[in-house]
Chain A
Amino acid sequence: MNSGSVTIDALGRKCPIPIIMLAERINEVPLGAVITVLADDPAAYTDIPAWCRLKSHQFVGSLEIKPRGWAFNVRRSY
C-alpha cells in the first residue's frame, strides 16, 4: 500500500484528535488523491473508516506500522 502525498502524524494522539486532524487537512490533497493518517489510538481503527463512510470519502485501507499503530489511507472524494 502506497502512502498518500500528505501524511498526518497523529501518533500518541487520542480520538477524536486524529479525526479532527484528518477533517482539517483532507483538502490539502487534490481531488481523487490519497491522504495518510498515522495513529495508534485503538479508537482510530474503527473511527477513521466510519468517518469516511459518514463524510463520503473513500477509505482505501490500513497497514500496521512499527512499533505500534496503523497507517490509514483515505482518498478525497469531493
Chain B
Amino acid sequence: MAYFDAASTEPPHPSARDALIEALGSAWADPARLYGMARRSRMLLDRARADVAAELGARPDEVFFTTSGTQAVQLGLLGVFRARRRAGRHVVVSRVEHSSVLHAARAAEAEGGEVTEVGVSRTGRVDPAEFAAALRPDTAVACLQSANHEVGTVQPVEEVAAACREAGVPLLVDAAQTIGRAPLPGGWSALAGSAHKWGGPAGVGVLAVRKGTRWRSPLPEDERGYGRVPGFENVAGAAAAAAALRARAAEMAAESARLSALVDRIRAEIPARVPDVEVQGDPVHRLPHLVTFSCLYVNGEALLTELDREGFQVSSGSSCTASTLQPSHVLEAMGVITHGNVRVSLPRGTPAEAVERFLDVVPGVVGRLRESMRGSGVSG
C-alpha cells in the first residue's frame, strides 16, 4: 500500500504520537488554574506555543492554537476584517484559495463587505502586479496562500506582501500546505496553518497575528485561548503539534529535497508513459511533495477507485469525485482539464520504490479505463 495523499492529511509523525500520549497522561489539568498540576499544563501549552512560534518566525505572544486550520483562517480573515471596519470593508483573495478562505470571504460579504478575487495563470500562480492592482484604500484585508493545495504552485507571497505593506493592507497568508515542508515566506501580517497537515494531530490549527496588526474576534468573548480562541485549550494536541513541527523542521531540508526529486520524476515520466496527459501546476515554483495531472477521456472517480485497488491512495479535483459534482475551482481558475484528475502528494518517508511502482501501474490503469470508455461517444 502507498499512501500518496499527504496534502489531505500527513500521517502522524512518531514524535507527535509520543508527545500526545505523554501529555494526555500528565497535562490534562485545566491550564487556567493555579495548583501545581494546572501549572504543568500551562507550562506545556506555553512551551508548545513558543516552539511553534519559533518555526513560524513569530513571537510566542503572536501565536494562538485554534481547533483547526479552517478555524485559523476564519479567525484570521474575519478578525482582521472586523478590526479594520474604519478603513473599509473590501477584501482581496486569490481565486485559487482553499475553500475555507473563500467561505470566510463570503461571510465578510454578508457583513457588508465586498470581495475581489484575483485570477491566476495557467500554472495557478498569482501575478503580484495584478494582486497589487486589486488593493484599494478601503481594503480591510487581503489573503493569499503560500502554495496551492491542489496543484502545488508556490505563490509570490513576499512580492504581494510588499505591495500590501505599501498600501497599508494587512496580508493573511494561508500556509497550511507549506508549514513543515518548505521555508515560510516573510512579510505576512497574519498566518494560518493546520497541524494534521504537518504530521501533528487533527483538531489543532495555528493562527499567528503580528504585533501591531489590528485584530478583533468575530466570536463571543472568552478568556480561554490567550483571549483569542474560545474554549478549553487542547494542551495535549498543541504539545503533539509542536513536537511534530520541531521534528519536521529538523528533517525538512533533506526530506523535502528527496521528495522533490521523486516529484520531478513523476512530472517527467507520467507524460512520457501515458499519452494525452496534462501535468499541472508550476514546474519550478512548487511544493516539494505534490504533483497533479489530468488524463484525457478518463473518469476521475474510476481512476481513483482503480488506483486504490492497485494500492495507491490519491486524491482528485474532478467533479465526479466532489459531493457538489462541480469541478475543482482551482482547476477551473487555471483553465486546465478538470476530468481524469489525480493529485499525488507524498508523505514523509515515501520510498522511491513506491513511486516507481506507481509509474509502472498508471499507464495500464489509464489505458484500461480509456478502453472501457471507447465508443461511449457514439453509442449515445
Contacts and interface: CB of A to CB of B under 8 A. Distances in A.
A54 B279 CA distance: 11
Given A16-B340, A43-B318, A43-B338, A51 B377 contact: no
Contacts of B297: 16, 19-20, 23
A68 B378 CA distance: 22
A60 interface: no
A43 B377 contact: no
Q: How large is the interface on B (under 10, 10 to 19, 20 to 34, 35 or more residues)?
A: 20 to 34
A69 interface: no
Given A16-B296, A19-B297, A20-B297, A50 B377 contact: no
Contacts of A14: 319-320, 325
Contacts of A20: 297, 373, 376-377
B335 interface: yes
Given A15-B319, A15-B320, A20-B297, A47 B338 contact: yes
A24 B278 CA distance: 19
Contacts of B339: 15-16, 19, 43, 47
Given A16-B296, A20-B373, A50 B335 contact: yes
B326 A50 contact: no
Nearest to B326: A42
B161 interface: no
Interface string A2-34: 000000100000111101111111000000000
Nearest to B369: A16
B335 A16 contact: no
B332 interface: yes
B362 interface: no
A23 B278 CA distance: 16
Nearest to A41: B319
A37 to B, nearest CB: 10
A7 to B, nearest CB: 13
Contacts of B327: 15, 42-43, 46-47
Contacts of B177: none
Main secondary structure of the interface of B (DSSP, over half): loop
B359 interface: no
A41 B326 CA distance: 9
Interface string B334-347: 01111110000000
B51 to A, nearest CB: 43
Contacts, number: 75
A49 B318 CA distance: 16
A46 B296 contact: no
Contacts of B278: 50, 54
A46 B338 contact: yes
Interface string B303-322: 00000000000000011100
B298 interface: yes
B319 A19 contact: no
A16 B377 CA distance: 10
A53 to B, nearest CB: 8
A47 B331 CA distance: 10
B337 A54 contact: yes
Nearest to A54: B278
B379 to A, nearest CB: 10
Given A41-B319, A46-B335, A47-B338, A17 B296 contact: no
Nearest to B295: A16
Contacts of B376: 17, 20-21
Contacts of B338: 15, 43, 46-47, 50
Given A15-B320, A15-B339, A22-B377, 18 more contacts: A14-B319, A15-B319, A16-B298, A20-B377, A24-B377, A25-B378, A42-B325, A42-B326, A42-B327, A43-B318, A46-B331, A46-B336, A47-B338, A47-B339, A50-B335, A50-B338, A54-B276, A54-B296
12 contacts: A14-B325, A15-B319, A16-B299, A17-B373, A20-B373, A24-B375, A43-B326, A46-B327, A46-B338, A47-B327, A50-B278, A50-B338
| 9 pairs of A and B residues whose beta carbons are closest in the complex | A21-B377, A24-B377, A16-B339, A15-B339, A43-B327, A20-B377, A43-B319, A50-B337, A46-B332
